[in-house]
Each structure stands twice: as C-alpha cells, then as structure tokens.
Amino acid sequence: MMQLSNVPKLLHDKVSHNGQYKAMSFNCDGALNSLAVNKDRTQVVVAGRSVFKILNIKEDCFIENTNLRVGRHINLTYGAADVAWHPSDESMLASAATNGCVVIWNLSKGAKAKQAMVYQEHKRSVNRVAFHNSEHNQLLSASQDGVVMIHDVRMQIPCIKFGVLGSDSVRDAQFCPPSMGYFLFAAAYDNGGVQTWDMRRPDRCEKQFMAHNGPVFSLDWHPAEKTSWLATAGRDKMIKVWDMARTDRMALPQCLYSITNISSVARVKWRPNRKHHISSCSLLVDHCVNVWDLGRPYIPFASFEGHGDVATCIEWREDCHTFLSCGRDGYIIQHIFNDAKRPADHANLAGLDLSIKGEISYAFFDRKDHSYSSLGKSKKLPKSRQFTQAISSLWVFEQNAEAKLAPADEDADETDMTMMQTFKEFAQEYKLDGLSLVELCKHNAEVADFYHKPQISQIWRMLATVYASSICPQSGSGHINRIGSLGITNSQLDKQDHKDLVVKSALKRTREKDKKKTAQELKKKEATSGSNEESSDVEGESSEVEKSIRGSNTETNFLFGDGGEDDTELYTTEGIFNPEDYDWTRQNLPSEGFQPRHELKAMIGTHPTTMESEMALTSMLESFMPPEANDQSCEPTLVIKQIHEPEFMDFSPSVANVIKNLAEQGDVQNSVSMLIVLGDLIRAHIDEVYQESWFFAYIDLLGRFELWTVANLVIKQSKLMVVSSLNQESTVIHTMCFRCSRACDRVAWLCDKCKRGVNICSVCHHPVRGLMAWCQGCCHGGHIDHIQEWLTFSNQCPAGCGHLCEFL
Amino acid sequence: MSFEDDPTGTYVGSFPKGFGYGPEETEIEGATNPGEEKPRILLMGLRRSGKSSIQKVVFHKVSPNETLFLESTNKIVKDDISNSSFVQFQIWDIPGQIDFFDAAFDSEDIFGGCGALIFVIDAQDDYMEALSRLQMVVTRAHKINENIKFEVFIHKVDGLSDDNKIETQRDILQRATDELADAGMDNIRLSFHLTSIYDHSIFEAFSKVVQKLIPQLAILENLLDIVISNSKIEKAFLFDVVSKIYIATDSSPVDMQCYELCCDMIDVVIDMSCIYGARDDGAFDNESAAFIKLNSSTVLFLREVNRHLALLCILREDGCENRGIIEYNFKCFRSAIQEVFVARNKQANKSTGHPQMDHLVNGQIDGTLDSGISSQSNGMLGAAGGHSFLNGSVRRADDDDDDD
C-alpha cells in the first residue's frame, strides 16, 4: 500500500539523486514578500517591507550581492510588495511599493542612485508588477486603488490605465503568454472577480467573471503553449483552473478543476513542463509550499517544508525539479523535488462511512496494478498524467436484508403506514392460525405482496425461511396430520371433483408435474419438511403434460398445493366446527403419529385426482373429523424427521428485533400478527409488557375499524393472560322473550312468565338447536338457514310483527 | 463636524447614550455648516430583502436573531452615524415598496447628496424582479448624481451552499451588467458583495462601502503600512469601535478569521471596561488599551486612537518583545492621524468636535503640513508631498527601532 504513490513519483519525476542543484536557504533578516530571478537564473532579488537585496545563486549557497536599501533617505519606496526582473535587461528591476509607487531600478548605477524612475500614478499600495513576456518594456502594475496600469519603462510619464479609480482592489495581474493572446492580461479583484483586458482597449474589460467567493489573491496563466488555462486562488481556500480559450466573447470561462486547500491561498504558480501540476502557498496557517496534481484535488501531490512562517512567493527553475521560495520568516529557500514530502503516502487507503439508513459502505485499496496504464482513453498521455492504476473496492452493507427497497416503495410504505389504507385488508386476509407456521408465513407474505408491501412480505418470507428448518418438528406435525386425515376422507369425493380440474391454476399444474416426476424421492421429504417444497417450484405451464398427469396424479398435490382460497375456506369452516380440537391437535400431537406413509403410497396410484378446487376442499372438510383416529391408523414406521437434521441456528433474537422495529415504526398490525404466528418461538424473546401494549393497540385499532371478528381472533390467539382474558369478560348474553318482552333471567331459552321456550324458529316454528339468528329489535328469529332464506325475499320480520329486522 | 447641535434635538440617531454615539453636549461648539451635508448611504431593495435588518445589526447592535421580529419599514428612516471623525454619514433606509414616480418622492433630493447606494438582493428569493428594480434605480440615480457608488449586497447567503453562492453571484453579476449594457449604461460600475447578517460578511461589506467614502483612505492605509512594517506587526485594522466596521487596514489581504478575532476582542474589551471601567458614560477613552495573548502564539493589541476609533493589531509573540517601540510607533501614528483630521477640517473650515483636535487646530498650525495633507485629501497631485511628510513623521520611530 505504501508504495502506491512512490511508484509514480519515481516514474514521472525522474528525479536524479545527484542533480545539479542542492537544497539551500538564506536568512534575509526580515519578512520577504516577493522574489524574482534574472533571465539566466544566476541572481535573485528578494524584497520585503524592510528587505531589498540581490543574492547570487551559487551551487550550494546564496551569497548576498547587493543591498538596495541603502542611502540617507530610506522611505517606503525602498521596500516592496512585489518585485520583477526585466526579462532581457539584466540591470533593470521593477518593484511595487506599498505607498503606491512603482519603482524602476537601474542596477548599473552607483550605490545611492539606483532608483531610476518612480511612477506615482497609483493612489494606494501596489500589489503586483509584471513584465510582458515579449514586449519587454511593458510593465504591468496592479494596485489597491482598483486600477491596473501599463507603463513603458523607457518613458517617464505616459501610461495606460485600466479600470476605475476607487473600485475594488486589484490583487494580481498577469500578462497572458504571447502565444495565446499577445495583448491580453488578466486581473484578480478583491470582490472575487477576474477580468481580462485587451491592452489596446483601456475603456472596458474584455471578459469579467466571478471566480471566487471572497477576494482573489493570485492568478497565473498556464505557461505551456496552447493551453489557455488560468489558475486563480482566493480567500475561499480554493484554487480554480479556468479554460480561457476565446471562443465566444460573451461565454463565461468554464471552471475545469478546483482544488480545496486548508486555508486561504496567497499565491499560485504553475509548475513548468508539467501540464497538470500547480504549486501554491497559503496566506495563513500552512507554512508549506504545496504542489498539486489537478487529478487529485484533495491531497497535495508534494509538499515542501522549511519555512517557519507562511511562504509568499514561488519561482520555478526551467527544469521543474527545483524552485525558490521566500517566506515571512525571512528565508529564501531552494527546494529540490527529491526532498518533497508526499502526503498521499501517509493517507489512509480505507474509508468507512455510515449512511442515515444504517448502511455501511467501506472502500479500500484492493490490489496494485503494475501496468501503469494511463488514465483516460489515450495511451499517449504525457507522463505527468500517469498514475498507478489502483483497483479499489466499495462495499455497501445494508442493515437488514429486507431494508433494501426502491426509494419510491419506501415512501409509499411510509405513507401507507400512516394512512392505514390497507389495514383493513391485512386484518381480514392475514392468517394467524390453522396452518403450519411456514404456510401461514407464506400466505401472509402473499397478502403483503398483493398490497404492494414488499418489505412486509419480505419479512414474512424471511420468517418462513428461518423457521422452516428449525421448527419443522412442530409445524410439520399439524400439517402432516392433516394430510393423513384428508387423504382418507377425500377418497369418496374424488369422482365429483374430477370435473373441477379445469379451474386449477397453472402454477399448481406445474407443481404437480414437478412433483410427479420426483414423486418417489419427495415422499420422504414431504413427510417432514414438505412445506419447504414451494420454494423450489418451477413456474411455467405445460398443459400437455398436465393432461397425461391428470389420470395418475397423486394425493401429494392436494396436500401441498395450498392456494389462498382453500385456506380461507378451511379456516372458516374450521372456526365453525370445533377449533379447539383442531388446535390442540396441531400443537400437541405426539410426533410418533406423524407417519402416514402407507396411506399416501396407497393413494398415489388409486385415486387419480387432485383435490384442490374450493368445492372439493369444503366438502372434504365437512367430513373432517378429529384426526386422532387417523393417527392411530398410521403405522409409525418412518421417523424421518429425526434423521433429517436441519442446521439449527437461533434466529430468535434478530427476529425479535425485527418485530420490535416494526412496532416502533408504528406497524403494530404486522408485529402482532407475527407474534401470533410465531407463538411460543418468539414470545420469550420479547418483553411481555411490549407484547401486551402491542396487542392492546392492535385490538383497539381493529375495534375502530369495526373488525370485531378479527379482534376476537387476535384475542383468542394471544397467549398473554391479560389479553386472552379480554373476551372472557362480560360474556353473558341476556335473552328476552319475544312474546312478553321480559328478560329471561333463569335460563336463556325459557321465559318464566310464558313458560315457553324462546328458541322457536319464526319460519318453521320448531325449536332451534345449534345456531340461531335473531333480531335484536323484536326478538324474533330462528334457524340461520331459514332466516337467510327468508331475508332473500323480505326484509320484514318472518313472525309477522311488522318489524324491519336486522340480523347481524 | 456636521451633526445638529440644537440641544432640543433634531438628532435622529437611535443609539443609547451609553454607546457614545451622538452629540457630546458639553463639547459642541456650534460650528454647523448648513451648506454641507453629510455623505449619505442609501439602503434600497425590494421589500423583505433585509435592509432594515442590515442597518439594525451593523449600527444598532441588534442580535441577528431578533431581526426576525422587525416590522417592515413603511417610510424613509434616516439614521445619523456621526460617531467618529472619519465615519460621518447618514444611512437612509428606503422602504422597498416606495414608488419612485410618486410626486412625494424627491429623487433629486434623495440621490443628490448620496455617496453610496446599497442595493440589497435577497439571494434566497427569486431575484429577477430585484434585478429589474436595480437597473431602474441605478439608471435613475446615475442620471441625477454621477458620483454615486453602487454597491449590490447579495444578501441572506447564509442559506446557500458554497457552490450555490458563487453561482448566484455569477448569475446576478452577469444579468445586471448585461442589462446595464443593454441600456447603454455600461460606464456604471456595480460592486457585488455576498452578505449575511449571521456572520461577519455584512460588516466586511459595509466596511468596504464606507472605505470608498473616505477620501483619506489611501493615507490611512499608508500610515498603517508604515506602522506595521516598523513594529513587526502582522496585520492592523483601524476600527470604528461601535459598529465594528474597519475604516482602514494595511495593504495585505484581509483574512476573515483575523477580522472576526478583532471583532471579538473589541467585544471583550468593551464588556470588561463597562463592568470595571471608571467612566459611566462610555466604555472608551483616549487611553484605553488592551493586550491579549492567544495560545496560538499570537498577540492581539488594541489601542484607542480617539473615542470611537481603535487600532487593532495582530502580531506574533516574538514580535511584541519590545512593547515600548510599539507604543512609540503608535503615538506617532496617532498624531499623524490627528494631523490628517486637522488638514481635513481646515479644508472644510470647521471645528472637529473633538477637543484634542480642536486644540491641534488652534495651537499647531503648520503651513507645510496643511498644504501637504489638504492637497492629499483633495486626492490628486500632492500625493508625493503627503507621503514624504508621513514618512518623515514616522521615521523617528524607524530610527528608534534601529537604535534598539
């Protein structure tokens, strides 16, 4: 990892360890603002408020050559905010004084008379002086007073002014390299703006744009040919690179790159011969000189230490491996690129973050690719653009598998949750009892799917999967038990059901086919974990095969092909009959009785029918008797479930968390439903107080939606004392005699006054046994079938009392 | 000084007396010049753009959060800021709904004596309407008074992200200049500032506006430059203590943190001297000074120039070894500033309203000084003379420094 950035360093810097230049420094005894080198780079002039010196650059040291701050009357013109060396005339310097003077120095003159000329046009301090690269006698000066001037250094007075006196201060101004725009220069303003001017048109600027938020302190044109880039830096801690290609006059330049620094940037300078490298120094805090690669705007490519205070000016040598810098600490330092610190080497190559949704993303460096392929498409990119191609990985971990949802769905979920739109449907269609746990879960998942609640549906499915293997012994027991009983009873019904085959769903057909093929192997499996089967269903229809199957189909189909409708039927009929019995069977049947192998086998060949249609099921269930008899008839030969050992893992705590989470989201319906379905498996993991409050909340809600039946079921299914005792309170029904309208106190079916039974059917005038329906308004009633029949043609009381009866 | 001296008071300033603003009754000499008016700063913009809030926060020390409760202004509110000899102006808060074509709106009168026009644009709102209004105001005002400086405050930027800020600024600048160019008024220059009352940007922007109205700014900047280079000071501000706007700083770039630090220091010093100070009527007098060392090896140094102006310096710890030199340089600086006052007041032929300065005016008439500085404040050719004098006056400090 650590070598990652060392490799490109060696690669594209080609730093010779015994280069011709050496790192060296010199103390000038006073803060330095600027430096400039002469054209053959043998001398450097350094300037500050109290320093103005010319140094000779030797191989391994600086030697002071001349001190320009001499004379009797040293005033502000002997200090400088900026200094520039004439590009061709070795003896000419220009300096910018803080009192608004631009001073031209002639070094060939005597010691006390070196100030050749002083321009005093600027009203406030001058921030920058610069010579034109080709027109060597054109001197640009930028001042606080908002004016940029171009002086001809050969002449005393005339100069050209750009800008309005008293407008925003100009912090920097630089001539464009002649290849791009011979007459062009750019100026940086205190208000964050950058303007480009044509030297020939002083009346108005050519382009003006907002570059920074806050003052712009420095700008630099890219030195390379045909790269019309302008780098600007400002107080907003940004370095920005603008494409200044002059296509359309009105179009604003585009920001190509932006680099964020840790503090305000005082100075920027492009690194020569490296198209994408730029050096910068800070105004405060950071004492380093940083070299940035535009491709990596967050960590400096190289960083040079040495200054004890902020650096103020940078001057590169031609070879781009050496540069001079001066700083407020009074030192001028020659830096060698070889000595640079590489902050990227110390950067942590792994990243970790948490999203608000609880997802964790983790990015890390994967493996190093030594092929050094260049970034971008072209293979012929300059070497400075080459990087080691690093392969990184990004992993996003989600908190819960079911939490993965399309955002839209999630929104919908949330609104639904609050709007309770599907509450009623869910309450009515959820099954809480009567099937194996796995089937219940799957059924409920389908219900949730149907109402576009993928998250809820996913939870149900997950529960089904989680408990399918581990709970098999218990849940499977009831299931298989039923298989046995149904298998026996349906034999006499198969004939009439034969015609109903047409209504079978395609899915079931395929399932049948599938199962038939693998009938032999399945038999064993089905006995124990049959309910798992569904997950491997093959979808798709093949009616031809179906036909051939029809004749020889097996009972197993019926047993496992649990459509939603038959289940509902089953449920209701069961409720009418004797639910306690059924329940008891399911829960407490001894495991030895679960091996209806022989029955199944026998039926496979002999009863070529599928018992799936609703009618079949309903009629079957009418003959559905307590299953003990069947169990006894079973031969306890195979005890496969013990052989089949599922990997047991305790998911209960996480399931408990899911349920709690649901409840916290306000979805008490699903959490209660899950509690009921999972029953004892999960109860121990959740605090009873919570459970009670959820139950009460759900029951209350059901009451408000007038779903009394469901509420009663929920109460019944609850294993909590407090909840289940709810429907054992105030259960007394007082009856009233329909003749004398007196309450029957002693027994409900006999009026003490009339001495006659009150359970006389108003239609057939026989006493009613079993279910009786009666109108609470007039107390008349009778057999439920009769009353139903009666109500189809009349809504008046069958007794003739004239009451418009309401049977609930 | 040109404030009203009538004791019965046409004084419009709303500062509490304790702040030290307003006329000092005992020292008034009644040299009002009815012919000259104070430079005026107009605050304009659409309604609810934040004009009154700006004025309250900057000049009345209202907490930014309390500006929520400001009622909308329905007539022109004139506010005198006559706190120091340099910062003398009136702020006119012009309600956004005012109709320029109304006969009651005397645009000649309003724009005539106006030094700067601040147009406030709500950056969080749709600014198209504001821009067309800006264009109308600018052309109208420019017709009447060509010397008005137009400042556009892109206000309420605290609600924008950094990228959004610069984008908004670019957009507004582009549209505003385009519209002006279309109207053939491209000789008008607009200055743009991003401001918010919840940070110091509004103070900085106002500082820049005020600085443009101070003709002596160049001299002050120069003086500060000289002081800091001779005293090893990193950065110096000349603060108006009450409003905390800086009326001058040296020519090195202003860093926002430094500025905020100085503002905080002024708060600390005012609080301290209000609690423990001897005087009842105001926190500051001419001898007020404070010296705060920070743990970042930075030292903050405050000296009172006069009752309303303070010099704040930021220097390194090693730079303040010789406080005597700083003290001496400061004295030179103060006397130089007072000479600038004198020159200005001589030119205006008025009393300063400050006893010390009056004393200077009366007692110390120096012909060369007078000519030098007054020509300076005229702002033209005599710059060299002024500078040479100033250099001379502080060179003593310089020499002293060398001796040490």
Query: CA-to-CA distance for A561 and A548, rounded, in angstroms?
Result: 19
pLDDT digits (tens, 9 = 90+) for B307-322: 778 899 988 887 777 7
Closest CA to A185 of A244, A145, A236: A244
Mean pLDDT over residues B297-314, rounded? 86
**CB count, 10 Å around CB of A698?**
28
Q: For position A247, what pLDDT does the model report? A: 64
From residue A566, give the alpha-carbon distance in Å to each of A284, A599, A611, A614: 79, 22, 10, 5
When CB atoms are compared, the residue of A75, A166, A193 closest to B212 is: A166
Share of chain A above pLDDT 70, in %: 67
Q: Does position A46 have pLDDT exceeding 80, yes or no?
A: yes
Token look-up 């007794």 returns A799
Q: Find, in chain B, the residue whose alpha carbon is nearest to that of A285.
A: B296
Chain center to CA of A683: 34
Helix (H, G, I), strand (E, B) or coil at A541: coil
In this prediction, residue A279 has a pLDDT band, given cuts at 50, 70 and 90, of very high
Distance CA A164, CA A284 (A): 30
**Chain A interface test: which of B182, B196, B246, B251 (most A C-beta within 10 Å):** B251
In sequence order, which ranges of A589-651 are alpha helices (DSSP H)? Answer: 597-606, 614-622, 628-633, 640-643
CA dist A697 and A711 (Å) reads 11
Q: Long-range contacts: A445-451, Cβ < 8 Å, 24+? A: A446/A564, A447/A564, A451/A422, A451/A425, A451/A426
Q: How far apart are CA A775 and CA B246, in angstroms?
A: 92
Complex ipTM: 0.73
For residue A3, which of A373, A321, A341, A344 has the smallest C-alpha distance?
A344
% pLDDT > 90, chain A: 6
Pairing mode, strands B89-93 and B309-316: unpaired
Residue A269: pLDDT band with limits 50, 70, 90: very high
Residues B126-142 as b or e (16 or more Cβ within 10 Å = b): ebeebbebbbebbeebb
What's the pLDDT score for residue A249? 62
Q: Is the pLDDT of residue A153 over 50?
A: yes
Question: What average pLDDT does the segment A670-692 reach?
Answer: 83
Name which residue leads in pLDDT, A204 or B379: A204
d(C-alpha B106, C-alpha B98), whole Å: 11
Q: What is the DSSP string of A82-131?
A: EEEE-SS-TTEEEEE-TTS-EEEEETTS-TT--EEEEE---SS-EEEEEE
Structure-model confidence comparison of residues B241 and A36, the more confident one: A36
**CA separation for the pair A23, A59 (Å, rounded):** 9
In whole angstroms, what is the distance from residue A31 CA to residue A312 CA? Answer: 9
Of the candidates A214, A216, A185, A219, the one whose C-alpha atom is nearest the C-alpha of residue A199 is A185
What's the mean pLDDT in A113-137?
Answer: 86
Nearest chain B residue to A127, by CA: B251
Greater confidence (A651 vs A514) lies with: A651
pLDDT in tens, B320-362: 777 888 888 888 998 988 888 777 766 654 444 444 444 433 3
State the pLDDT at residue A562. Answer: 41
B335 in contact with A, Cβ within 8 Å: no
Is the pLDDT at B233 greater than 70? The verdict is: yes
Q: Which of A442-446, A542-546, A566-570, B81-85 has the highest mean pLDDT?
A: A442-446
Burial A152-176 (b: 16+ CB within 10 A, else e): ebeeeeebbebbeebbbbbbbbbbb
- Can you give the pLDDT at residue A291? 92
| Residue A778 CB contacts under 8 Å (≥ 6 apart), including other chains | A738, A797, A799, A801, A803, A805
d(CA B49, CA B45): 6
Closest chain A residue by Cα to residue B210: A166
**For B274-283, B294-303, B365-374, which range has the lowest pLDDT when averaged over its residues?**
B365-374
B175 interfaces chain A, CB cutoff of 8 Å: no
Chain A contact for B254 (CB, 8 A cutoff): yes
Residue A278: the pLDDT is 92
Give pLDDT tens digits for A452-465: 888 888 888 888 88
Distance CA(A422)–CA(A408), nearest Å, equals: 17
In this prediction, residue B105 has a pLDDT band, given cuts at 50, 70 and 90, of low
Cα B201 from Cα A675, distance rounded (Å): 59
A223 lies within 8 A of chain B by CB: no
Mean predicted confidence (pLDDT) in A648-660: 79
B170: closest CA of chain A, how far (Å) = 5
Q: How far is CA A239 from CA A11, A52, A80, A101, B252, in A?
A: 26, 30, 25, 30, 19
Cβ contacts from A onto B, under 8 A: 99
Angle at B210 between CA B209 and CA B216, to 5 degrees: 125
In this predicted structure, which of A111-115, A117-121, A512-516, B274-278 has the lowest mean pLDDT?
Answer: A512-516
pLDDT greater than 70 at residue B156: yes
Bigger pLDDT: A521 vs A298: A298
Contacts of A120 in chain B (CB under 8 A): 383-384
* CA distances in angstroms from A165 to A120, A142, A148, B149, listed in the order given: 14, 12, 9, 12
Residue B239's CB is within 10 A of a number of other CB atoms, namely 27
- For residue A169, is pLDDT > 90? no
Chain A residues touching B208 at Cβ < 8 A: 168, 190
State the sign of the Cα–Cα–Cα–Cα dihedral A246, A247, A249, A255. Answer: negative
Q: Mean pLDDT, chain A, as a whole number?
A: 71
Quick one: average pLDDT of B159-164? 83
DSSP result, A477-510: HHHHHHHHHHHHHGGGTHHHHGGGGGG--HHHHH
| Interface residue B170 vs chain A (CB under 8 A) | yes
Poorest-pLDDT segment among A575-584, B56-65, B215-224, B257-266: A575-584
How far is A679 from A232, CA to CA, in rounded Å? 70
Residue B144: pLDDT over 50: yes
Rounded to whole angstroms, how far apart are CA atoms A738 and A732? Answer: 19
When pLDDT is averaged across residues B270-290 and rounded to a whole number, the result is 73
Q: Which of B314 and A433 is assigned the larger pLDDT?
A: B314
Strand partners, A131: A139
Answer yes or no: do A208 and B149 touch at CB < 8 A. no
Count the Cβ atoms, other than its own, within 10 Å of residue A284. 18
If pLDDT is split at 50, 70 and 90, which confidence band does A298 have? confident
More reliable by pLDDT, B115 or B278: B115
Q: Note whether B177 contacts A: Cβ–Cβ < 8 A.
A: yes
Q: Is the dihedral of CA A215, A220, A222, A225 positive or negative?
A: positive
A311 against A624, higher pLDDT: A311
Residue A469 has pLDDT above 70, yes or no: no
d(CA A792, CA A616): 27
Give the pLDDT score at A344: 82
pLDDT digits (tens, 9 = 90+) for B15-72: 444 344 443 333 333 333 433 457 788 888 888 888 888 888 888 888 888 888 888 8
Residue B76, pLDDT above cutoff 90: no
pTM, two decimals, is 0.58
Q: Which of A45-54, B217-226, B384-393 has the lowest mean pLDDT?
A: B384-393
Neighbours of B161 (CB within 10 A): 9
Q: Shortest CB distance from B162 goes to which of A81, A167, A213?
A: A213
A344, A346, A352, A356: CA torsion to nearest 10: -70
At A464, give phi and psi (nearest 5°): -60, -45
Q: Under an 8 A CB cutoff, do B255 and A145 touch?
A: no
Which residues in chain B have their CB less than 8 angstroms from residue A193's CB?
Answer: 173, 192
CA pair distance B404, B395, nearest whole angstrom = 14
Interchain pair B194, A215: CB under 8 A: no
Judge: A214–B256 Cβ closer than 8 Å, yes or no. Answer: yes
Mean pLDDT of B193-214: 88
- Is the predicted pLDDT of residue A609 greater than 80, yes or no? no
| Residue A397, min C-alpha distance to chain B (Å) | 30
Contact B311, B284 (CB under 8 A): no
From the list A211, A215, A245, the residue with the least C-alpha distance to A231 is: A211
Report pLDDT for B341.
Answer: 75
pLDDT of residue A420: 63
Q: To the nearest 10°, the Cα dihedral for A200, A202, A203, A208?
A: 100
Most confident of A1-5, A418-422, B108-112: B108-112
From residue A607, how far is each of A279, A493, A597, A601, B367 by CA, in Å? Answer: 89, 10, 15, 11, 132
